[in-house]
Structure 1
C-alpha cells in the first residue's frame, strides 16, 4: 500500500496532479479577485472584503506549493495559465451577473421623437435636449438603466434609429427618477389616459 509521502514523490503527482491543483487554485483566486474588484467599484463594502479573504487564502495555498517545488517548471506554467484563465472566467462571470446600473447617452441627427416615444413606452425614464453638433443640430437622450437591460435598449435604438451614436458608462449610485420596472405598452397608456 502506497503512503501519502510516497505518492507525493511520484511523477504523476509532481508533473500532473500538483500543477493541475495549482492551475485550479489560480483560476479560483483570480476569478474571485475579478469579482471583488467589481464589488469595490459598485460600493459593496461588505461583500468585497469577504471575497478578498478567500482570494488571498487560495493564493497563499497556491504560492506555497510553487515555493515547495521551485525546480518544477510545469508548476510555473500551471500558475501562469491559471492566472490567465481566471481573468477570462472572472470577466465572463461578471458580464453574466450584469450587476449595477449604467448611463446610456444617445446622440442622433435624425428626429428623436420616435426613439423617445419608444423608450418611454418601454418604461425607461429619459432626459433629452437639442444640441449643436460639429456639423448640424442633434438630439441627445440620456437614460439610467440596469446593466442587464443594455441589450434591450441597444435593440430599441438600432431598430428605431440605426445610425444613432450612443455611449454607455458605469454609474455608482443614483437617487430619485424614473427607473424601468416593466414594459408598458402604448395601448395600455392610452387606455389609462382615457379612463
Structure 2
C-alpha cells in the first residue's frame, strides 16, 4: 500500500505541475506548447485518479491525492517562477526630475521611456521600463538602490510592438 500511496502522491505533483504550466502557457499565448502539455497532463490525471478510485476504501489514498495536489500547485508555480516567461513593465515615479536613474537603467540594458509628471508636491520624473520577467527582481533592486523612495507599479504586457526591443521580443 505504501508504494501505491507514493505513486499517487508523485502522480498528483506531476499532474498539477503540468496543469499549472499549461495554464500559464495558454495565458502567454503559447497554444501549441499548451496543447502538448495538456495531452501529457490528461494521461497523468487519469492514471492518478484510477489509482485513487481503486483504493476508495482507504481514506489515506484520498488524503495523499489531495496533499499531492497542493504540493503540485507549489511545484508548478516554482517552475514557472524559474522559467519566468514574458516581460514586465515597471512604471516608476521618482521625486528628482534630474535623476540619472533612467540612464543608469539604460546602461544596464533596459528599455526606458521618461517624461515629466506633476504630483501633489511638484514635478516628478516618470519612467516606464520594459524588462524580461526573469530580470524583474534585479531591476526592482537596481531602482531601489538608486532611489529607495521610488514609487513602482509592475504590470505584465500581453503584446509588444515597435521600440528598440521589437526584434529581441520576437525571438
TM-score clears 0.5: yes
**Which residue of the other structure, out of 140, 164, 170, is the alignment partner of 1:178?**
164
Q: CA deviation at 1:57?
A: 1.2
Tell me the TM-score normalized by structure 1: 0.80
Name structure 1 gaps, 5 residues minimum. 1-12, 182-195
Instruction: Report how many residues are paired.
Output: 167
Matched with 2:90 is 104
- Residues 158-194 of structure 1: CA deviation (Å, up to 9, x unaligned): 121111011211122212212399xxxxxxxxxxxxx
**Which residue of the other structure, out of 81, 89, 93, is the alignment partner of 1:95?**
81
Tell me the TM-score normalized by structure 2: 0.90
Q: CA deviation at 1:41?
A: 1.0
* Greater radius of gyration (CA): 1
Q: CA deviation at 1:19?
A: 1.3
| 1:1-195 aligned within 5 A | 13=1, 16-111=2-97, 113-179=99-165
Q: CA deviation at 1:134?
A: 4.1
- Residues 62-89 of structure 1: CA deviation (Å, up to 9, x unaligned): 1111111111111011101100100000
- Structure 1 stretches of 4+ with a deviation exceeding 6 A read none
RMSD between aligned residues: 1.8
Q: Secondary structure, in 3 states, of the residue corresponding to 2:36?
A: helix
